[in-house]
Structure 1
Amino acid sequence: MQKSLRVGQILYTNVLPVYYYFDQPKFEDRIQFIRQVPAQLNQAMAAGEIDLGPISSFSYAEHASQYVALADLSVSAKGRVGSLFLFSKKPIEQLNGAKIAFTNTSATTVNLLKIILLKFYDYEISYVTQEPVLEEMLLGADAALLIGDDAIQAKRNSHNLHVYDLGELWHQFTGYSMTFAIWALRKAAIADHHDLIAEVHASFLDSKRKTKENPAPLIDYVHTHFGGEKEEWVRYFQGLQHDFGDVQRIGLEYYYRCAAELGLLAAPTTVDLWQAGGRQTKTTLTR
């Protein structure tokens, strides 16, 4: 009997528009959902324990020879993200030589901050990786990086701290959109699950469309389960992009070039897209 398709889901609210209206009963026992934070999903995908799902954009680049990306799906923003924050005891202009605590749940954002501080600010920084608990992270560091719902919760109580949105900083220096996660598909899974992958992809796109047309149920859901004001969640989801077109691709591939320039990646990477009908297209960077 052919095994089920293993589908990842990030344990953060930022992917919910792609999953909220996903037609799970339609697939019954044909797919298995695996819900983890990005760093865990990155590892599971690389180990072949997940067939498709959202992973850190940086992890896609590290394993690009093994993956393609599902077309028109991402977690991106052009400017403010609202869930990727650097919390600092002093202004960012005074962080040269500082020690920064990184969350252990991220790859893309950790390296994005390195690019911003090393390339754009020309700082020398030391780093430590910790569990995403802001108070503990700041005990021995000048600043701390949090992502996802950990960052959203911490922002509500970040009194007397300087808070910087990494999407805003990236856009300020580059003018580009930034893509933090893309829905990766292991090439090895395509032959066994080709038609099912197309169905799952279509259901993701349908959920994204329905959420955009009628966001109120999703806003009610996150307000009930994650707290905060509804207006806060409306602004948050309005700032996120779940598409992956030329705007997102160009920004992401520039990020890959910056990462390679700093030695964070072995080489610049392009993104291969898997279309709903199974057709693959290779992107190229234009500036």
Structure 2
Amino acid sequence: MQKPLRIGQILYTNVLPVYFYFDQERFEDRIDFIRQVPATLNLAMSRGEIDLGPISSFSYAEHASQYVALSDLSVSAKGRVGSLFLFSKKPIEQLNGTKIALTNTSATTVNLLKIILRKFYDYEISYVTQEPVLDRMLLDAEAALLIGDDAILAMRKKGDLHVYDLGELWHRFTGYSMTFAIWAVRKQVLAEHSALLEEVHASFLTSKEMTRKNPGPLIDYVSTHYGGDKEEWTRYFQGLQHDFGDEQRIGLEYYYRCAAELGLLPAPATVDIWQAGGRQTNTTLTR
């Protein structure tokens, strides 16, 4: 009997539109969902412990020779994201030479912060990685980076801290959208699960479109389970993009170039896109 397709799911609300209407019963014992924070999913994917899932776009670049990206699926934003925040005791203009605490749950966003502060502000920063608990992070640091639901919850009790949305900062300096996660597939599972992969991909796209057309049930769900009012969550999901077209790809390619320029990646990555029918398209990095 063929082994189930192991599918990762980020433990954050930002991926819920792609999963909310996903028909799990249809696949019965053909798939297994593995739910973890981004950094843990990145590691599991690189070890072959999951077959596909939304991994940090930075992690995709680190393992580009092993992965392909599913077409038309991502977590992206052009401007404000609403869940990627730098919380600071002082204005960002005064952070040069300070210490900043980074969440241990992220790969893409921690490197995005390093790019923004080094390339666009020309700052020298000392970084330390910690558990995502804002009060503890700020005990010995001037600022702290949180992502996902940790950031959303911290924002509600930020007090007099200065708060900066990394999606806004990136867009201000570059004009580009930013892609934080890509649904990637390990190349070695493509042949073994090709037919099933097409079904799963189609179901993800269906869920995304159903949520886009009728977001009400999703908004009700997250406001019940995560608190906050419905208007807050509606604005949040409206600001997110779950597509992966030319606009998202160009912004991500530029991010990879910046990361390579600063030595965060050995070289800019090439994104291979898997589409229905098993076709793959290859993109080269341009600006």
1:178 matched to 2:158: no
Counterpart residue number, 2:57: 57
- How many Å separate the matches in 2 of 1:125 and 1:25? 49
- How many Å separate the matches in 1 of 2:91 and 2:277? 49
Counterpart residue number, 1:80: 80
Counterpart residue number, 2:240: 240
Matching residue's letter, 1:133? V
Give % identity. Answer: 83
Q: Which runs of structure 2 are paired with 1:27-106 in the superposition (5 Å)?
A: 27-106=27-106
Counterpart residue number, 1:155: 155
Q: Over aligned residues, Cα RMSD in angstroms?
A: 0.5
How far did residue 286 of structure 1 move?
A: 3.2
**Could you list the per-position Cα deviations for residues 191-222 of structure 1 after superposition, in whole angstroms to 9, with x for gaps in the alignment?**
11000001000000000000000000000000
Counterpart residue number, 1:164: 164
1:14 matched to 2:14: yes
Matching residue's letter, 1:200? V
Q: Which structure 2 segments of 5+ residues have no match?
A: none
Q: Which runs of structure 2 are paired with 1:185-196 in the superposition (5 Å)?
A: 185-196=185-196
- How many Å separate the matches in 2 of 1:285 and 1:123? 27
- The question of whether the paired residues in 1 share the 8 Å contact of 2:253 and 2:286 is answered with no
How far did residue 277 of structure 1 move?
A: 1.6
Counterpart residue number, 1:121: 121
Q: Secondary structure at the match of 1:192?
A: coil
- The question of whether the paired residues in 1 share the 8 Å contact of 2:103 and 2:129 is answered with yes
Q: Secondary structure at the match of 1:157?
A: coil
| Matched length | 287
How far did residue 2 of structure 1 move?
A: 1.3
How far did residue 119 of structure 1 move?
A: 0.5
Counterpart residue number, 2:140: 140
Q: Secondary structure at the match of 1:15?
A: helix
Matching residue's letter, 1:179? T
**Could you list the per-position Cα deviations for residues 17-70 of structure 1 after superposition, in whole angstroms to 9, with x for gaps in the alignment?**
000000100000000000000000000000000000000000000000000000
- How many Å separate the matches in 2 of 1:232 and 1:125? 33
Matching residue's letter, 1:194? S
Q: Secondary structure at the match of 1:204?
A: helix
The TM-score with structure 2 as length reference comes to 0.99
Matching residue's letter, 2:51? D
Q: Which structure 1 segments of 5+ residues have no match?
A: none
How far did residue 285 of structure 1 move?
A: 2.8
- How many Å separate the matches in 1 of 2:250 and 2:134? 33
Tell me which stretches of 4 or more aligned residues in structure 1 moved more than 4 Å. none
Q: Which runs of structure 2 are paired with 1:249-260 in the superposition (5 Å)?
A: 249-260=249-260
Q: Secondary structure at the match of 2:124?
A: coil
How far did residue 276 of structure 1 move?
A: 1.7
Matching residue's letter, 1:78? K
Matching residue's letter, 1:75? V
Matching residue's letter, 1:43? L
- The question of whether the paired residues in 1 share the 8 Å contact of 2:256 and 2:265 is answered with yes
- How many Å separate the matches in 2 of 1:207 and 1:173? 33
* Farther-moved stretch of structure 1 (269-278 vs 105-114): 269-278
Q: Secondary structure at the match of 1:203?
A: helix
How far did residue 266 of structure 1 move?
A: 0.4
- How many Å separate the matches in 1 of 2:139 and 2:103? 14
